[in-house]
Amino acid sequence: MKSFDAVVIGAGMSGIACALRLKNFGLKVAIIEKHRVIGGLNSFYQRVKKNSDGSRGGIRYFDVGLHALTNFAKKGSKNKPLLKILRQLRIPYDELKLQEQNFSTIHLNNKALKFNNSIDLLSSEIQTYFPADHEGFLRLVELVASFKVSTEPSEYVSSREKIKEFISSKELQEMIFLPVFYYGSSWEDDIDFSQFCIMFQALYLEGFSRPYGGIRTLFKILQEKLKSLEVVKLMGVAVNRIRKIEEEHLIELSNGESIKAKQVFSSIGYPETQKILGEVIDQKAVGKLGFVEVQLIYKERLTEKLPTICFYNEDDQFRYKVPETLIDERSAIICSPEGYESFEGEEGVIRITYLANYHSWKSLESDEYEKAKKEIEIKARNLVQKLYPNHKRELVFTDTFTPLTVEKFTSHIGGAIYGATKKFQDGNIGIKNLHLIGTDQGYLGITGSILSGISIANLYGFPKGR
């Protein structure tokens, strides 16, 4: 039976970063992935591109999780999460080929605020449209900027209650929450204040960028790192059960084999880890929030300048909760990957993301499921036209994924993208030498996921005596 110093479950961003960091410590490391490709929540897939005569015309690549790489930092900046990641994984900054966002918008009812990778723009917008709350907003910025990301456990604090100490306008509160919730909350209509600070820093104080070439650029770098460091990859095999044997863990795999590990780092989620431990799943902690995303592919690239990302809500109340129907049409994220400094594709693309009801999608028969996706694709096209009335491009392809797609490829119960409502900042779920990384550890987004894997590896994987 093969034995390892450390085994990482899940080859998503946090899992790969954790495995690389552990390997840098000189440990014997294996990473287990149930699918045959890496990526997890932030992967990519492809569809055959056909010519008008039906012949094969190449491949279209679709990013799954990447709307934006948050926590942008310029080369040479000090004390930035992104640069810490690159330093600890020994990745040169220039290899990412980062392209900054042009600008993004928060669209609530008939008002819109612009923001970019400098807090000055959002501050100026708030001073113009919400002058009575500008001073309070600056105090909030000061507090969030001083917040230190930690692996120390903390009690839940409601951000909805906390923000009232700084912002009196209900409308401005909703606008601030709109991107934060959509990009990181596993709680309905709220978020823990420590998580709020992490996301505020990531979105507003540091901002958005995108690797030229999309998520594939980052994966290519990580793949080469895994290969060069000789991390053992067990691909296309799932973990059926983890059993404790003396001072090691016995990991039973779906191919009938078993391996031993002195330490296990699980990125698959808290309830999902409970399941393979043979424990009763904490149902209260299971995340509820899932999404449907429509990708619209156009024949030509943009000639106008659209927001890189528009966080949209049609009225003055933002409802961040599981909808009663298949999707909630009242709010959405509209992302234009072309809205960065530079974009590699010949065709244009816009991505529209809605809150979705997993159980409603699960109840559909196969033909109903496909019909529902087509209907939502029409709604997405109409929303783009409503927001950007001068946007007139020929649509050549659409593709849609639902919470069922997310569940299939990530094993997250109910397709909950942001995982459980219970987070474990120190990675400790009460099992000796088994540590949680990724979404349910508590660092969110692509940058947060990578940082999570590194931080927990540093906390538990660094050999004693070094």
Residue-by-residue pLDDT tens, the chain, 466 positions: 899 999 999 999 999 999 999 999 999 999 999 988 887 777 777 788 877 667 777 788 777 777 889 999 999 888 899 999 999 999 999 999 999 999 999 999 989 999 999 999 999 999 999 999 999 999 999 999 999 888 888 889 999 999 999 999 999 999 999 999 999 899 999 999 999 999 999 999 999 999 999 888 998 999 999 999 999 999 999 999 999 887 899 999 999 999 999 999 999 999 999 999 999 998 888 889 999 999 999 999 988 889 999 999 999 999 999 999 999 999 999 999 999 999 988 899 999 999 999 999 999 999 999 999 999 999 999 999 999 999 999 999 999 999 998 888 887 888 888 888 889 999 999 999 999 999 899 887 788 889 999 999 999 987 754 4
At 466 the pLDDT is: 45
Q: What is the DSSP annotation of 396-444?
A: EEEEEE-HHHHHHHH--GGG-TT--S---TT-B-SSTTEEE-STTTT--
Distance separating alpha carbons of residues 325 and 296, to the nearest angstrom: 22
The encoded tokens of residue 182 equal 């959509």
Token pair listed for 303: 């000639």
**SS3 assignment, position 332:** strand
Burial annotation 280-292 (CB, 10 A radius, 16+ → b, else e): ebeeebbbbbbbb
CATH 3.50.50.60-classified regions of the chain = 3-43+214-285+422-460
pTM across the whole model = 0.92
User: CA distances (Å), 200 to each of 204, 207, 416, in order?
Assistant: 5, 9, 21
Q: Supply the pLDDT for residue 204.
A: 97
Cα–chain-centroid distance for residue 356?
Answer: 16
Assigned architecture for domain 3-43+214-285+422-460: 3-Layer(bba) Sandwich (3.50)
Which one, of 321, 353, 401, 443, lies nearest residue 62 by Cα?
Answer: 401
Q: How far apart are the first and last CA of the chain?
A: 29
**2 burial type by CB count under 10 A (0-12 exposed, 13-18 middle, 19+ buried):** middle
User: Are 276 and 32 in contact, with CB atoms under 8 Å apart?
Assistant: no
pLDDT of residue 22: 96
pLDDT at residue 464, rounded to an integer: 59
List helix spans (H) across 130-188. 134-146, 159-163, 170-182
26 CB-contact burial (10 Å; exposed 0-12 / middle 13-18 / buried 19+):
exposed
C-alpha to C-alpha distance for 406 and 171, rounded to whole angstroms: 32
CA distance 432 to 371: 48
